[in-house]
Chain A
């Protein structure tokens, strides 16, 4: 489904991703962990198409298409979804209106007729229930004045509405209380299917208790320096990153 080959990217002349390789198959969940500043959000942003990053090498193939050739909106329409680590506040645009535009733009891309107001509302209500998203938030300006947890929940809600093939969750667990964490994780799990895949960026095992990964990768200084089964996350939780850093330095 997604194949990342020796991907390199830089910003303002500084190389952040230094050759990433990752293979994601339908139905899989991959967790990406790693110390602060190692490049996890950068990887997520490059996959979503943020234009500030310059791709300096490698390639990314998504469902047979050269992903890096596509505009961010085309990637979304092809089925990529990024839950932002820091969701953006957009005054004056309501969450509901924003989502309606998004849904219908994607339908247009696929050559489908737009949903009418009733169909859209019915669908949105179901999805809102799925992640216990409060109705009043839908009518407010997108993320404006939302609490940290409400913003994260809104990301998962949007994901539920857009039903992406590949969801990338960038620290969606941070800022969530225990109950919210469970609800959000359940939302993610409900969407899991043999056709869909998820990349979960997180610092904590507790999310992975709910969303159990097939693989865990450690990103350090712009490279994936270690990959393993779900137990690797437990080991990291226990021992921290020093031993991995030491391994990397030893190899040089």
Chain B
């Protein structure tokens, strides 16, 4: 076993120069993933505050304020995912489709699972007041939404990971065996931790402005809300400094180490450290002053995310490059054989016709 498959490519040219497609993939994928983070993190924080709201009513109101953001974030998350899907379809055709087929049932179940999660999210939000008397049921819905939102990214991660390793394809028998490949779970942890962190920043953004009184939640002071947001951003981000290296170490070796990728990850880590430091400073700021560095923190977060995305792309390229060469050669060989066979059959037909 463990035979390396070398399939043929689609014999049609790429629709655009590769850098353009790569640009589409990286830029829009990052936008997509930020909104996915906000959606998943929003669901988790909603549940958390709703549970606290059982004892203290004001937390229930806070939960509602966060739940209200999911409606928009989830729609944008989905719609922004389509462009990167197009780009990955063309850039990694052989890899992406093969991974999809090998985990097919789970892959296609993304559709009903996301639909269900969205419908339940609406139910949870729009019947908030009506379900006041049935609190357990209402929280039960939030629990189901969280489970769905936690599981769906795992399907995507498994696929995106599987596609990089054609040498494992003949050992994979369905989703769970693909899940067991190294690196899936650390990457998953890395992703999940980013969700409350991003949502924490969203909280800061929501409650930061002083002038708009209606932008706070009854029973909370503005700076309390902002500080809570920063805590959500800071603590998971700190844990990333442990999880991140594990992700890097469990990445399978590429044939040639991509120094560029490593350098990019290194710079990203340094920026992230500075960002975490600034978050911590903000948490300790008092009253009016808190929130002053929000703009800087957001810029740093965007930089980190962009660098991580770039590093990941460089690694991915390094991982598939040698195999891609083999595929290219194989396709060329095949197309030559096709041409040759067509000429032969045309000749045969001609001579057959003459014989008659």
A and B, one complex?
Answer: no
